Structure formats: structure tokens, C-alpha cells
Chains A and B, each alone.
Chain A
Amino acid sequence: MRKIGKGLIFIGCMVLILFLSGCSRKEEKVLNVLNWSSYIPDSVIRDFEKETGIQVNYSTYSSNEECLAKVSSAKEGTYDLIFPSDYMIEIMISRGMLEKLDTTQLSNVGNLDSLYLHQSFDSQNQYSLPFVMASTVIAVNRDHIKDDIDSYQDLLNNDYVNNITLIDDQRIIIGMALLANGYDMNTVNEKELEVAKDWLLQLKPNIKAFDSDSPKNFLITEEADIAVLWNAEAALAYQENKNIEFIYPKEGSALSMDNFAIPKGARHMNEAYQFIDYILRADVMKEIIESYPYKNVNQATQALLDPDYLYNIASNIPSDIIEDGVYVKNIGESVKLYDKLWAEIK
């Protein structure tokens, strides 16, 4: 008898919880954001929620492919706003996965620097608007490494055994090997890829680790003295150690532009536009850029940023580097050549 009583109390509690959790959600406005991990500080999202009363459900991904997989495998309308990079925008457009953007709903769209609009992956900006830009850079700890370094070839130096960290990204790193040998970063020519493979195998003894999550930590903890990493990570490492120097190699850097995009069938479009417009505000973008010092593409924000950001080539990428840089392009099924090569060098 006692047991039954206890059971009833338990069931009663569960039912109560069910009801209570059910009713608080009803009238609330919601926005489901899918974004890169560590890209927008929490405070920006809290402030947006406070200002608009919209509840933001925030989930993250750590590669464009993960974003693609999440959006295409989830029910249509699961996500309202995503941040894919250049080539992924191209793929998503070609697969009809994106909604056309109605820029008339964005009062702050004029803040964007026109230099960064009309990119090849979405030449009319019908489906996407730029959020931030990134570039790969070589960061060197000058406390320990005194040699001149100005190209990827210099990384092959025998003195750097077990001392280099690379991003754990096959397109970027194989792309780096291709650039080092004077080839196109997006080549599908098997002979050229073979050369890139041999180059990476030659570099392998120097590689300490492949890490995409937090390559800056390798520099900060002095685990490695050289890193090929995204510019913002390098800039953050510099905040900890002022003897880190940034080198844009003469063969060119890999570029990446992340964009706002609304997936097909999004159920909270108005909220998505409100969020984009909020982020396009000069002061909000400033807060984001200060936490994650990628290349700012917002003209109004640029005027607000302080010299620490503006005169640091790791955060404020010089325009000639951008001109000479190369975007990762969609190469369709040739991606399997890269994947196999990646398995070979690991």
C-alpha cells in the first residue's frame, strides 16, 4: 500500500512538471539560431533577448559540413538562422536550401562595407549577407624562433621538429600544401595533389598537433612556437603574449567569409531578420569583434574600433592579403580525393 502511495506521488509530480513546463512557453517569441561555436558572445544574445523579448535557442556546429548535415537532416523549419561560409552558401543555394533575403526588413544593412558584398558565391547577395571574414596566418613565437619566415616552405626547416600546430581541416591544410608548391588551392588535379601529399609528409615530423578547437592555446602555453591558424585565434594569442608575430606567407592565405543566411522553411523569419539587424548595428558588431577579433566587414563598426584592433594585422587583415587570398571552393565529388589524401598523411 505504501509503495503504491509513493508511486502515485511520483506520477503526480511528473504530471505537474509536464504541465508547468508546458505553459511557460506558449506565447513567447522564439528564434532558433545555428551558429559556429565561439562566434558571438553570450552577452550579445542576452541583450538581444532583453531588448526584443525573443527567446533565442542557440545551437552550434564546428564545420560547414556539420552545418549542412544538421540543416538537411532536421525537419524543415528547425533552424531560423545559420552562418555558413562562402562555398557552403554556394552549395546550399544550388540545393535550394536557403530563403531569399528581403533586405528591406534590415534597417542597418547599409552599415555593411560594400567591399565585402557581391562575392562570387552569391554575387547579388540574394541569399546571404556577410557577417565576418577570416584568413589563415602563420603565428610565430619570437621568444624562441628567430629565423626569417615568409613562406610556407620555411616551415620545412629541420629545427622545427614537433613545434608546429596546424588547423585540423583537410581543405585548408592540403590547400596550404598546394599553395606552397605554386598550385591552385582548389585543384582537383591528382598529380598536383600527389605533390601536396609529399610536401605534407615532409612537414609531418615538424607537426606537433592538428587542432581546430583552440590552436591559440598551443601558442599561449608555449606547447608549440609556430602555428598556422585563423587570424582571430592568432590575435587572441597575441593578447597573452606580445612576442607573437604574424606572417602572411607570400604564397597567399586561405580566406573564409561567414554569412547570415535563412534556411528554407524557417518558421520565425521576422525574428531572424530582427536578429540580423541587431547584429548589423555598429555597437553590437563592435562587441562581437572585440570578443572574437575576426575581420570586421561593418563600415559603421570600423569607426568605433580601437587602435589595438585596427593596427593588429592578425585581426584587421590588410586589404592586399585579402586580394591575394583564396577562398575554399566547392569541388563536388572530388572532395573524396582530399579525404583520402588526408587519411594518407595522418
Chain B
Amino acid sequence: MKNKKLWKYFFIIPVIIYVILLIALPLIYILIISFFQSDYYGGMISTFTLQNYIDIFDQVYINVFLKSIFVAGVTTLICILISYPFVLAISHKKPATQKILMTLVMVPFLTNSLIRMYGWLVLLRKSGVINQVLLGVGVIQEPLSLMYNMFGILIGMVYTLLPFMVLPLYSSVSTVDPQLLEAANDLGASKIKTFFKIILPQTLPGLFNGSLMVFTPALGYFFIVDILGGGKIMILGNLIKNQFLTARNWPFGAAISIVLVLITSLVIFAYRKLGGKMEDLGGA
């Protein structure tokens, strides 16, 4: 019995060390330096100040927050709209087929996401594959502007983050009892009614989990905005990156990061207040 317990710790300790070393400590470091003063040369003066947080409430930076939340929100919405039909369709397949299809969802992860963005560039640009084909067929006379605008950013975001919506949603959907769906069908509920009365309520944890996993990174994926958006829009990720790499103002960058963490925490807090369970989020 005792031996068993020892073994348990043996396997848990690396995880604890990992979390402390690579998640907790850096976060604490970020929190601490967000109260420091910058010397504007990448260094910090360790006097306590709240100025970094006060600076965030400038209209300029609030606009960046609003823009980021808009981009992330629309991305999440599109991901939901694509993922539900996709996941529901898969869940009706044989188990073996389901496994194969879900593996295919993961395949893009084998390539670095930056390289995949450059792949999109080849597809979307003015002289790119899509425009060439459409011009060749005669559907359009002038090349379409598919990138270096909001459209390009959303394509990049949705493409990169879609699996994070599909996976939790799939886990959620597969727990829905098929007998409930049969019963609904027998009692004459329409497909739409079945979705809203049975599937949606039961997959809400998965939906929320997926939304969180899509929304949060979408606030920060600066490379997508830079490559497919032509760097014309600034989201929180760009703003934070700039503080560390061009403005040499690490404390301000840290303060924005902390606010970002707070926003995410707030969303999770709201979810719990509304009756969601934390176990559903992680366990899905």
C-alpha cells in the first residue's frame, strides 16, 4: 500500500515541478515586474509603481483591447459555427472512422504554424493560387483582396485555432446518450429542436472549453496579424511584443500581460458563477 503511494508521487512530482518552474514562476516574475519602472533600455528599476496599469487606460490602448476582443470573438464564433456540424457529422460514423477523422484534425499540428501561414500566403495573395484559378475560369475580372485585411486575419485565426474547438466539442458530443436523440426523434422533435433542447445543453462544457481555448490565444497570435493581415492592425499580442522588443518597456508589457490573464480568469469565473463545473473544463 505504502509502496503504491510512493509510486504515485514519483509520477506526480515531475508534473508539479513542471508547473512551478515553467508556469507559476514566470507568471510571478511577470506580475512582479509589472509594478517596476522601466529604464527604457530593456532594464528595470525596482521601485514600486502603478503607472504601468494606469497607462493601459489610455484610449489608444483601450482601442487595442477592443480590436483584439473583436478579432478573437469573431474567430470564436466562426469556429463554433464550423465545429458543431463537423463534430455532429463525425459522431454518427463508426468508431474506427471517427478515430481516423479526428486524427486528421490533428495532422496540421505536425507542421509549424508559422510555416502554415506562409502556405496561406501562397494561396491567398494577388498572384496566388485562388486568384489565378478564379481569374482563369473567368469568375472574376480583378484579383480579390483575400489577405492583408481583416478577412486574411480571420482565415489565419480560424484555420489555426479550429482544432482547439473541435477536440473538446467532440469529447462533449460523444458523451451525449444516443437514446436521448432517439427519444427526441420518436417524440417528433425537429432536428433543430433536438439540437437546442438536447445536444446544446449537454455539450455546453465542451463548447465553453473550446471557446476559451480559441478566444484566449486569438488575443495574442501576433504572427497571424503580421503575415496575413500585413501588420496593419495591432492586437494585444503585437502590443505586448512591441513593449519587449521595440519600446524596451518590459514592465508595461508585463502589465498588459497580467490584464490579459485577468480577462481570461474573469471569463472562467463567470462560467463558474453561471453553474459550470471546473471538472467539465479540464476533463472533457
Contact = CB atoms under 8 A, between A and B. Distances in A.
B60 A208 contact: no
A221 B43 CA distance: 41
Given A72-B42, A332-B40, A63 B246 contact: yes
B264 interface: no
A339 B247 contact: yes
A336 B246 contact: no
B231 A168 contact: yes
Nearest to B238: A346
Given A95-B41, A332-B40, A343 B239 contact: yes
Contact of B41 (A68, A340, A342, A343): A68
A207 B247 contact: no
A339 B127 contact: no
Contacts of B125: 221, 223
Interface SS majority for chain A: helix
B148 interface: yes
Interface SS majority for chain B: loop
Contacts of A338: 247
B83 interface: no
Contacts of B252: 336
B230 A209 contact: yes
Interface in B210-250: 226, 230-234, 238-239, 242-249
Contact of A72 (B43, B127, B238, B244): B43
Interface in A52-103: 63, 65-66, 68-69, 72-73, 91, 95
Given A72-B42, A72-B43, A340-B60, A346 B231 contact: yes
B231 A68 contact: no
Contact of B61 (A63, A207, A211, A343): A343
Given A168-B226, A346-B232, A223 B126 contact: yes
Interface in A312-346: 332-333, 335-336, 338-340, 342-344, 346
5 contacts: A162-B145, A168-B226, A211-B226, A222-B126, A332-B40
Given A204-B232, A223-B127, A342-B242, 15 more contacts: A91-B41, A162-B148, A170-B242, A170-B246, A207-B232, A208-B148, A211-B231, A221-B125, A222-B126, A335-B248, A339-B243, A343-B63, A343-B234, A343-B239, A346-B232
Interface of A: 63, 65-66, 68-69, 72-73, 91, 95, 162, 168, 170, 204, 207-211, 221-223, 332-333, 335-336, 338-340, 342-344, 346
